Chain A
């Protein structure tokens, strides 16, 4: 059977770019002045959890 069209380099780069940016941001993270409020913390944590849940399993 014919192999489906592979992702193009630009598509792959787009995917990886998001990760690279995350890595760069996280690597250069500097804690500073203003802490988050409890409400803001909960909001960010919920978004992270939602992102975790949206990663599909490959069965």
Chain B
């Protein structure tokens, strides 16, 4: 089921990509769908994995404390990024560059979640290739 959901994410990203160079409304739609995908699929999937490890004892002690702190940090950044998007939708003229900050914050979220889920993320110019599980 989880795998199917994640395949769905890939398909979704493809479809969103198709709308990449469309109208303003479609751009907002693409941004919103992408944001929704992260919050409604990526976070719960990573959390389910972490909680399973917590339950069976393979994640405990300092590692557990650190993982919880990192997850909370990612969640805070995600919510803050959402607030910035909302501000931009309401008044794009106030701070036209705010979306660059949003992008940076979401990138940090991506790195934290990938790290928590057992993978590592490498920095690159426009892509973040993932190297398989530890």
Interface range on chain B (Cβ under 8 Å from partner): 35 or more
Interface hits, B1-22 → A, CB 8 Å = 2-3, 6-7, 9-10, 12-13, 16-17, 20
Also in contact, A25 and B38, with CB within 8 A (given A6-B49, A12-B130, A45-B89): no
From B42, which residue of chain A is reached at the shortest CB distance?
Answer: A15
- Distance in Å: Cβ of B30 to nearest Cβ of chain A: 5
User: Judging by beta carbons under 8 Å apart, are B56 and A18 in contact?
Assistant: no
A45 and B36 CA atoms in complex are apart in Å by: 12
User: Judging by beta carbons under 8 Å apart, are A18 and B103 in contact?
Assistant: no
Interface hits, B30-84 → A, CB 8 Å = 30-32, 34-47, 49-53, 56-58, 68, 71-72, 75, 78-79, 82-83
Point out the residues of chain B lying under 8 angstroms from A8, CB to CB. 132-133
User: Judging by beta carbons under 8 Å apart, are A32 and B6 in contact?
Assistant: no
User: Judging by beta carbons under 8 Å apart, are A47 and B36 in contact?
Assistant: yes
- Give the contacting residue for A51; candidates B39, B102, B130; CB below 8 A: B39
User: Which of A34, A54, A58 neighbours the largest number of chain B CB atoms within 10 Å of its CB?
Assistant: A58
- Give the contacting residue for A4; candidates B6, B38, B56; CB below 8 A: B56
- Distance in Å: Cβ of A53 to nearest Cβ of chain B: 8
- B-side residues, CB < 8 A to A, are 2-3, 6-7, 9-10, 12-13, 16-17, 20, 23-25, 27-32, 34-47, 49-53, 56-58, 68, 71-72, 75, 78-79, 82-83, 85-86, 89-90, 92, 96, 99-100, 102-103, 106-107, 109-110, 113-114, 117-119, 121, 126-128, 130-134
| Additional A-B contacts beyond A19-B38, A54-B39 (8; CB < 8 A) | A4-B58, A7-B118, A16-B114, A16-B130, A26-B31, A26-B99, A27-B100, A29-B31
